[in-house]
Amino acid sequence: MDYTKKRHPMGFYHAYPIPSQEELDLFYREEYFQACKSASYSHDYSEEEMQFIVTQPVVADYVWNQAGKNSVGKLIDIGCGEGFFARYFYDHGWEIECCDLSSFAIERHNPEILSFFTENNIFKELDGKITDNNKYDFINLSNVLEHVREPVTLLERVKKIMGRDSMLRIKVPNDFSAFQQILLDSSRISSEYWFNPPGHLNFFTLTSLKEVLKSCGFRIVKTLADFPIELFLLNKYSNYVVDKSKGAEAHNARVVMERYLMDHGTDRYVDFMSISAEVGLGRTIIVFVDVL
């Protein structure tokens, strides 16, 4: 299928035509995890990479506590993937639930929490939670909004399982950013390489994501980025888009740098990544919100 990009009224880009839900479900169940088509998933991780992965829940726990929340609560990880985020909170005394379209990744990496996992379309899963009037203290949507047909509808449903003191964490790729435009304008890349439907259907910057969240009735608590790996694209000798063989080394450098920052304290890591987000750097954007 040939896709083009369109700008949504709220400012983000989305792919058109939008594939059917059946087509997406088939893609994720049979291809996404099993074939390792996403750079976010792997069959095995080194000890250093595991430290890198655990940075995300550690930082989320820090932001939760800095916001003055209870020490533990009830968490749901929607689109949980391999389950590392939910596993961290489970190990720290939280009550957890998690769901995804496929159990493949979580079975491989975190089978210990399979009893808390549901294999389901996330919209159907949320509808059931809403019908049962279930509420959660902490909701995680990590690399989900870019994949779904209706991201705004998803956020509106997530809001219905949040209470007055709940917090929602959202992580999305930082795409169609000003920095990416510099790379295009300077011919360091020749195409919008991040535009890859049906793998991703929606494309956000911090500005457009904030606009969506504001329209849905959320209040921003904290904005963060991750390490700006696209800096390597400025140098022809490390440009992993032009030469894909350089991608592994770029990733390894990111792992080392994030570990270096965390070694200086979670508070300093958060400060560094908060500034990075505000100036549009970072391959991904992480936003923490509560309900207005």
pLDDT over threshold 70, residue 291: yes
Q: Beta strand pairing status for 162-173 and 284-291? A: antiparallel
Its pTM stands at 0.93
Condensed to tens digits (0 to 9), the pLDDT of residues 203-225 reads 999 999 999 999 999 999 999 99
Model confidence at 38, pLDDT cuts 50, 70, 90, reads: very low
For the chain, the distance separating the N- and C-terminal CA atoms, rounded to the nearest angstrom, is 40
Smallest CA-to-CA distance from 266 within 86, 62, 78 is with: 62
The single-letter DSSP state of residue 238 is S
- Is the separation of the CB atoms in 206 and 159 below 8 Å? no
The single-letter DSSP state of residue 174 is B
pLDDT over threshold 80, residue 32: no
Condensed to tens digits (0 to 9), the pLDDT of residues 136-187 reads 999 999 999 999 999 999 999 999 999 999 999 999 999 999 999 999 999 9
Orientation angle between helical segments 47-66 and 247-263, nearest 10 degrees: 50
Q: What is the mean pLDDT of the chain?
A: 93
The whole-number pLDDT of residue 33 equals 53
Model confidence at 34, pLDDT cuts 50, 70, 90, reads: low
